[in-house]
Amino acid sequence: MPGPVVDAHLHVWDPALTSYPWLVGGPPVINRAFALDDVVPDLEAAGVDSVVLVQSADDVADTELMLECARKDARVAGVVAYAPLQDPEETGRLLDRYRSAEPVVRGIRVLVHEQPDPWWLLRDEVIEGLTALSRSGLTFDLVAVLPEHLRAALRVSELLPDLPMVLDHLGHPPLDGGGRQGEWWDLVAAVARNPRAHAKVSGLYPGGPGEPSAAVGRVRPSVEHALDVFGPARLMYGGDWPISLLHGGYPATWPLATELLSGLSRPERDDVLGGTATRFYRLDEPRR
């Protein structure tokens, strides 16, 4: 029997509750409120058993929305919350609160890619905040879209080798369907040398028109490289809903993910589709 399926990267948001600057002026299809109920039919059709909600705004109000969702729906196995890493004192206060009162929180994320400074992660105050995170037992989700973000992640791994870190969306490989994918190819391999580093098979949208079979061909080199350097035991599936609605939503992205993993053994697929996320985010621990 296949193991439980975990979507390790799913969002809810509500622009009426807090600001999502990256949504302003964006495509109408995603520029509105999204609740977990909106995606439940797709999750059930795909056989997804549980989800990890991931922050969408650098604002505690966004985290509160996810926590409220978790209180209402047992499908939410974990929450990746926000903490202002550039403010170590406030980060420490929030980490204490999450550990004591909100155990469904399993990790922290900041929209690093929205910072004007691509080396923001290496600022002294941010390293201090990451140090507190490393000591807390929670994990760190990193949105890396530039080579500089991956280089900064390498330095963080050197400074804080015990910090469990996961690269969202495989660290943003260029999906041109070619062989070596530019700087990403070597940098992601270097990040993977830290055994605490993981990555998400999520948010992989090749640009331009094409049938799903063509999309598989353009994404496959990056996924196969990630499988080589991380191994299935450090890769996890994420649906990236509702961003994925820009690319066909679950009916398009779930078949793409399963096809990309079709060459793996059953235990390896079980890792990517649930086991890795369960271990990394400690989803088998009580959430309340």
Q: Report whether the peptide linkage leading into residue 242 is cis, meaning its omega lies within 30 degrees of zero.
A: yes
Structure confidence at residue 135 (pLDDT)? 97
Could you tell me how many residues make up the chain? 288
**CB neighbour class for 25 (10 Å; exposed up to 12, middle 13-18, buried from 19):** exposed
What domains appear along the chain, each with residue ranges and CATH number?
6-280 (3.20.20.140)
CA distances from 145 to 41, 64, 200 (A): 31, 26, 13
113 phi-psi bin (left φ>0, alpha ψ -120 to 50, beta other): alpha
Q: Supply the pTM of this predicted model.
A: 0.96
Q: What is the pLDDT along the chain (288 residues), one digit of tens a residue?
A: 778 999 999 999 999 999 999 999 889 999 999 999 999 999 999 999 999 999 999 999 999 999 999 999 999 999 999 999 999 999 999 999 999 999 999 999 999 999 999 999 999 999 999 999 999 999 999 999 999 999 999 999 999 999 999 999 999 998 865 556 689 999 999 999 999 999 999 999 886 555 666 788 889 999 999 999 999 999 999 999 999 999 999 999 999 999 999 999 999 999 999 999 999 999 998 765
| pLDDT recorded at residue 206 | 80
**Closest-CA residue to 136 (of 161, 118, 163):** 163
Q: What share of the chain is helix, strand, coil (3-state, %, to 5)?
A: 50, 15, 40
pLDDT at position 251: 92
| E strands in 73-116 | 76-81, 105-109
For position 188, what pLDDT does the model report? 97
Between CA 241 and CA 85 the distance in angstroms is: 25
